[in-house]
Structure 1
Amino acid sequence: SKESRRKMAQGIKAGLDKYGLKLLKGHTHPDSSYEAIDAAVVGIARCVAKGNTARPGDNIVMAIDLDGSFGVKGWVKCFDSTLKKGSSELGMMIESIVTAVESGMIKASRDISAPGILGSLAMLCEASSVGAEVDAERIPRPEGTAISEWFTSYPAMGFIFASNEESLVTKLRDAGFSASVVGKFDGTKKICVRLGSDRKTFMDLSTESVFGIH
């Protein structure tokens, strides 16, 4: 609809202004049954943290911006922490990741997106042919939010890193993230989650696939 296109254009402009980006081109889909917008990013990086380079023994570091609140965006339970922040604050948070990658502190990286925290971790594990052992109580989460609810949420600024640098957590916290070492990658191809004395297998990537390639 015309109103939806107007809102999309307003949102795009607000995002470009906030993150200091430029829009090259785009198009709508004439046959879509729903109103949506997709995006791709093109840029130049001095160093890249790939999503398939986690190795057994690497620490699992999660960094999430918890300075926000829950909202609903379509079918995604979104925890928004960017809307009320200015360009300089967001820029400092993003720059902390860029400099960590460039200095070799981060070996592999994955943003936390629609599959949620464990689903996004499973994507990183599957691409890297590794498993993971995670302590659920160490995962940064908003105060008063149940772990089960947080697992199905989409934090606006959330990342999973493979790293063995002890100073990475401090660097990310100094930039405004809530960050912790939440476990280790291993060679089992299983994503196992511990909560207190309980331990369960979330996925066995030797028989299951996030990407649907089995």
Structure 2
Amino acid sequence: MNLSLPALIERLHTFSGIAHKRDIQQVAKQLREAWPNPNPNGDDCALIPDGDGYKLLAMEGFINRFVADDPWFAGWCGVMVNLSDIAAMGGRPLAVVNALWDDALPHAEQILQGMAAASRAYQVPIVGGHTNLRSDQPQLAVAILGETRIPLSSFAVQSGQTLMVAINLQGRWHPPGYNWDAATEASPAALRQAWSLLPELAEAGLIHAAKDISQAGLTGTLVMMLESCGLGAELDLDQIPIPPDVTLEQWLCAFPSFGFLLAVEEEHREAVQQRFARCDIACAAVGRFTPHRKLDLHFRQQHACYWDLTQQSLTGMTC
């Protein structure tokens, strides 16, 4: 049966990860008015000048139900998703802190065990935080500090650059949601090698911008990237690397553990693909950035607009 692109787009728009990103609109205006920032909000990390380079600062909070139902994996993700933000900015991580609230020590211990396992695997220390074991429910937030000499930024994308996707397909679903676990059973050495790729590519001048694929899914994350740079894109869904036995709709909604959108000059495309291939990471050219502020999708001879930023914003974090 042929998959209808307009029907697919309609279902993707109702995906819960998109709704969560829409919530950011409520604070975007207040942030701009309260503290004008020469490095505007909307990137994966705050970019703070520091001598000849930059410090990177990011933070992630987690849905309470996820923390309550899957404490060890929530702890692991607390470290992993922050590392993803640092990598997306061309950075290397320095340290992690957390804020953990819980109603029972055994449950809190599982969260900390997951964080400790990720800390050891990625070789990033947990250096402090805040703990309260008298809360009425489990809650977790994790922050990370990193550094970079050559930052990548969604605001640096230019029209005409090639849109590439790099994703680790070697994983499995971690139910009940669309979490693709390509990390917890991987070799720690392989994990660290993969996470070093983006800062190495940035320093080599082979990529100019990146964004990690978040809970908004691949297409939702791309809309966020386009909001930052004030551009549009054409995305060929047929070119996206997908694991066996996973449907396109599932994959477009997935948080892939290791997954990034990249802005690359065409002459660097092959070199970028080769670098990821050495680490067994699938990397493909899937489209290009355009001056028109729309995300247009192409799929099996079908063409449709996924998002028109001239008509509606997603996060409201714009340049």
Shorter-chain TM range is: over 0.9
Contact residue 178 and residue 254 of structure 2 kept, 8 A? yes
**1:212, CA displacement in angstroms?**
3.6
Distance in 1 of aligned mates of 2:151 and 2:317? 25
Question: Of residues 98, 103, 107 in structure 2, which corresponds to 1:4?
Answer: 107
2:51 maps to none
1:169 maps to 273
Partner of 1:63, secondary structure, is strand
User: How many residues were matched structurally?
Assistant: 212
**1:131 corresponds to 2:232:** yes
Contact residue 62 and residue 158 of structure 1 kept, 8 A? yes
Distance in 2 of aligned mates of 1:32 and 1:108? 40
Gaps of 5+ in 2: 1-103
**1:163, CA displacement in angstroms?**
0.5
Spell out structure 1 runs of 4+ moving beyond 4 A: 28-34
**1:206 corresponds to 2:307:** no
Bigger drift between 93-102 and 180-189 goes to 93-102
| Structure 1 residue identity aligned to 2:122 | Y
1:185 maps to 289
**1:195 corresponds to 2:296:** no
Partner of 1:93, secondary structure, is helix
Contact residue 97 and residue 172 of structure 1 kept, 8 A? no
Distance in 2 of aligned mates of 1:33 and 1:80? 29
1:154 maps to 255
2:119 maps to 16
Give 1 or 2 for the bigger CA radius of gyration.
Answer: 2
Partner of 1:13, secondary structure, is helix
**1:32, CA displacement in angstroms?**
7.3
2:223 maps to 122
**1:46 corresponds to 2:149:** yes
**1:40, CA displacement in angstroms?**
1.9
Distance in 1 of aligned mates of 2:290 and 2:133? 46
| Structure 2 residue identity aligned to 1:203 | W
**1:72, CA displacement in angstroms?**
2.0
Partner of 1:11, secondary structure, is helix
Partner of 2:156, secondary structure, is coil
Contact residue 59 and residue 181 of structure 1 kept, 8 A? yes
Distance in 2 of aligned mates of 1:179 and 1:54? 18
Question: Of residues 103, 111, 123 in structure 1, which corresponds to 2:204?
Answer: 103
Contact residue 227 and residue 317 of structure 2 kept, 8 A? no
Gaps of 5+ in 1: none
Residue deviations 1:153-195, cap 9 Å, x none?
Answer: 1101000110011211121111221000000010111011110
Q: Give % identity.
A: 24
Residue deviations 1:124-165, cap 9 Å, x none?
Answer: 111010101000011111112111111111101000110011
Larger relative CO (CA 8 A, sep 6+): 1 or 2?
1
Contact residue 160 and residue 289 of structure 2 kept, 8 A? yes
Distance in 2 of aligned mates of 1:205 and 1:137? 23
Residue deviations 1:53-74, cap 9 Å, x none?
Answer: 111101001000000001126x
Bigger drift between 158-167 and 40-49 goes to 40-49
**1:61 corresponds to 2:168:** no
